[in-house]
């Protein structure tokens, strides 16, 4: 993947108008220096979504969604990172720089997409003139509008139809070969990969053709097998079946905000559901649900329904989906499993039961939590301690993959209910004092001043405050929680002086510190060294922010000085001459600071 320089991203976001970008998609209302709206990422009655033009950052206090213009385009328009960057660059009329290796590796990327699109149009044209292929779709109830929506086509019989039509130019021939449309025999002879098949173009998230699926019309030809029933494009530089979902482009075109996604197994299942009014179906491409699939599904919709056969193979496929989904089950996301009757698939069910019947089945789908524990308990006797221990042993490593939050806590609580594992044995004599002790400790902790927290908050509210500091930080050696993070953010600002709040948060997006940093960046009051909240006006006053930040750093420097003095004094008898001289100088400096 191309490496886009950080400096370009910083400049792109600095020049982009976040309010204009979000306002073009979500109605914004001005409130002081910020804007508010109802969050576009979850349902709510009162606005909790704020946009800050100065921080170049948006945040929802309801669901926690936050980020920069790039992340907004990724989440709202459902774009990949590079696509979002290109969209912003196009609006500003600038070209996205890419490193030399990327340019040399794929100098004709657009030409490859053009060749794939030409092949798709060729297949569509062939469908219009082939009675057998049209008869197949007519027999499956696929009307003209649906055929056009999915760009369905037909690959003619013979070995050279596509090659003769599009591959006469050597350069185009090479492009079609790179796109996986040709096969080669042992003698080196190149021929059409798809022959006498109805064709299903596979589109990427920008609606570009990246591959094809083909279904054979006749299983045999004069007693000879015509190959597999369904044939997919091979893996190419454009097409990776473990990362793509058939029908996702069509779902996006049908919905500004996708309420749910229904994962089925076949092309015709997707098409039949669309034809009958269920227009949120997608299909994996002949493979089990992968982690990339799971991420893509939840990036596009909060609820995902997996439809599988009810047999052993179907339940095995469902469990594969569970393994991919669990590490992505952030709060607010839901997954369900719909197991179909023997001999039925979504195509047959929707045609016999109609939309209402299929919707009724979805309402009865099994939640992930129930399927998870039912599957792990299938051969376990929960009436015995041994059985409970076995279930706990199976479940705990999987539950550990769930992101921190309410869902993960509830799943662990359910395991405790089933097995007792995780419950703490307490007695009346020990339980109350322990609670009191914990409450007292929490109260003491809450009343402690937090210089590091205050400094980081000011940094996130106004990154430029760090530019007043020297490159060498005296407090960096201080043994205190959060010092390393504070130093890292200061160094980040020094390296990228124009960095915004949003970009700092993006920098830490995949780190464990991300939730805490987001909370501080959106704080409306700041904890001071005296353990009393600062007036919220401090957050709107750049000079106060600067003074608060430098005061916190000064106090941290003083603590680092005292820490070093105490370290030297603890081993005064064994100090070297240079260390004794250092101690004398530090004591003098400390006395001057106290005065």
Provide the greatest CA pair distance for the chain.
Answer: 103
**Do residues 216 and 227 touch, judged by C-beta distance below 8 A?**
yes
Region of poorest pLDDT, from 15-19, 249-253, 387-391: 15-19
- C-alpha 551: how far from its chain's center? 38
pLDDT at 395: 94
Enter the pTM of the model.
Answer: 0.65
Q: Kindly state the tokens that stand for 159.
A: 């070995």
CATH number of 243-376: 3.40.1360.10
Instruction: Locate the domains of the chain by residue range.
Output: 6-104, 109-239, 243-376, 377-419, 447-594
Query: Of 269 and 492, which is predicted with more confidence?
Result: 269
**Do residues 259 and 279 touch, judged by C-beta distance below 8 A?**
no
Query: Of 188 and 419, which is predicted with more confidence?
Result: 419
Q: Which CATH class is domain 447-594?
A: mainly alpha
- Nearest of 365, 336, 361 to residue 350 by alpha carbon: 361
CATH fold of the domain at 377-419: Pheromone ER-1 (1.20.50)
Express each pLDDT in 504-545 by its tens digit: 888 887 787 888 888 888 875 444 444 334 445 555 567 777
Compute the distance between CA of residue 134 and CA of residue 151 in angstroms, rounded to an integer. 13
What Cα–Cα distance (Å) separates residue 77 from each residue in 293, 301, 449?
Answer: 18, 12, 43
Q: What is the side-by-side order of every strand in the sheet holding 334-340?
A: 281-283, 261-264, 303-309, 334-340, 366-367
Q: Kindly state the tokens that stand for 447.
A: 């009343």
Q: Nearest 10 degrees: CA dihedral of 495, 496, 499, 503? A: -70
**Do residues 576 and 489 touch, judged by C-beta distance below 8 A?**
no
Task: Indicate the burial class of 486 (C-beta count within 10 angstroms; 0-12, 13-18, 19 or more).
Answer: buried
H/E element, 199:
strand 197-203
Residue 449 has pLDDT above 90, yes or no: no
Compute the distance between CA of residue 406 and CA of residue 573 in angstroms, rounded to an integer. 54
Compute the distance between CA of residue 346 and CA of residue 348 in angstroms, rounded to an integer. 6
Express each pLDDT in 224-273 by its tens digit: 456 788 999 999 988 988 889 999 999 989 988 889 999 998 899 999 99
Residue 72 backbone dihedrals phi, psi, to 5 degrees: -65, -45
Compute the distance between CA of residue 74 and CA of residue 81 in angstroms, rounded to an integer. 6
Q: Which CATH class is domain 6-104?
A: alpha beta
What phi-psi label fits residue 481: left (phi over 0), alpha (psi between -120 and 50 degrees) or beta? Answer: beta
Question: Residues 19-36, buried b or exposed e (16+ Cβ, 10 A)?
Answer: bebbeeebebeeeeebbb
3-state secondary structure 25-56: CCCCEEECCEEEECCCCCCCCCCCEEEECCCC
Dihedral of CA 257/113/239/217: which sign? positive
Could you confirm whether domain 109-239 is CATH 3.40.50.1010?
no
Quickly state the pLDDT bin for 63 (edges 50, 70, 90): confident
Q: Kindly state the tokens that stand for 104.
A: 């040399």
Express each pLDDT in 97-135 by its tens digit: 865 334 444 556 788 999 999 999 999 999 999 999 999
């Amino acid at each position: 993947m191309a490496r886009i320089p950080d400096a370009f991203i910083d400049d792109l976001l600095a020049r982009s108008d976040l309010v204009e970008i979000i306002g073009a998609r979500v109605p914004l209302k001005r409130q002081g220096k910020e804007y508010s709206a109802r969050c576009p990422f979850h349902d709510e009655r009162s606005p909790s979504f704020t946009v800050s033009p100065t921080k170049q950052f948006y945040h929802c206090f309801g669901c926690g969604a936050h980020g920069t213009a790039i992340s907004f385009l990724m989440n709202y328009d459902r774009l990949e990172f590079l696509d979002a960057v290109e969209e912003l660059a196009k609006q500003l009329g600038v070209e996205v720089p890419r490193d030399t290796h990327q340019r040399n590796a794929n100098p004709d990327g657009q030409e490859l997409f053009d060749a794939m699109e030409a092949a798709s149009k060729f297949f569509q044209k062939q469908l219009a003139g082939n009675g057998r292929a049209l008869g197949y779709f007519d027999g499956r109830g696929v009307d003209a509008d649906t055929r056009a929506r999915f760009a369905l086509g037909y690959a003619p019989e013979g070995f050279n139809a596509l090659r003769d039509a599009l591959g006469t130019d050597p350069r185009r021939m090479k492009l079609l070969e790179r796109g996986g449309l040709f096969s080669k025999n042992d003698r080196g002879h190149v021929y059409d990969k798809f022959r006498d098949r109805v064709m299903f173009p596979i589109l990427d998230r920008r609606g570009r053709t990246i591959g094809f699926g083909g279904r054979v019309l006749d299983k045999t030809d004069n007693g000879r097998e015509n190959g597999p029933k369904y044939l997919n494009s091979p893996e190419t530089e454009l097409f990776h079946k473990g990362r793509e979902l058939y029908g996702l482009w069509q779902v996006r075109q049908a919905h500004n905000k996708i309420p749910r996604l229904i994962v089925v197994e076949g092309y015709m299942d997707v098409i039949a559901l669309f034809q009958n009014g269920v227009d949120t179906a997608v299909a994996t491409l002949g493979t089990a649900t992968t982690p990339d699939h799971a991420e893509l599904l939840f990036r596009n919709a909060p609820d995902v329904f997996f439809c599988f056969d009810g047999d052993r193979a179907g339940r095995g496929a469902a469990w594969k989906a569970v393994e991919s989904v669990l590490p992505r089950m952030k709060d607010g996301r839901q997954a369900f499993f719909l197991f179909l009757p023997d001999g039925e698939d979504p195509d047959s069910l929707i045609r016999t039961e109609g939309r209402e019947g299929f919707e009724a089945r979805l309402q009865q789908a099994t939640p992930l939590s129930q399927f998870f524990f039912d599957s792990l308990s299938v051969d376990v006797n929960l009436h015995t301690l041994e059985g409970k221990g076995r279930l706990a042993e199976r479940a705990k490593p999987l539950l550990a993959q769930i992101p921190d939050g309410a869902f993960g806590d509830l799943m662990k609580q359910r395991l405790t209910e089933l097995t007792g594992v995780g419950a703490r044995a307490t007695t009346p004599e020990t339980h109350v004092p322990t609670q009191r002790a914990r409450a007292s400790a929490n109260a003491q902790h809450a009343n402690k001043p937090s210089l590091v927290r205050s400094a980081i908050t000011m940094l996130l509210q106004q990154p430029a405050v760090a530019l007043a500091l020297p490159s060498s930080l005296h407090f960096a050696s201080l043994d205190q929680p959060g010092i390393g993070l504070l130093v890292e953010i200061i160094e980040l600002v020094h390296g990228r002086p124009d960095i915004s709040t949003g970009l700092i948060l993006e920098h830490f997006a995949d780190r464990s510190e991300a939730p805490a940093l987001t909370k501080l960046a959106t704080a409306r009051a700041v904890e001071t060294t005296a353990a009393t909240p600062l007036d919220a006006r401090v957050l709107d006053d750049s000079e106060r922010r600067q003074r608060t930040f430098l005061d916190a750093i000064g106090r941290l420097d003083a603590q680092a000085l005292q820490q070093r003095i105490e370290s030297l004094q603890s081993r005064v008898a064994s100090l070297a001459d240079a260390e004794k001289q250092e101690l004398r100088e530090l004591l003098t400096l400390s006395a001057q600071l106290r005065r």
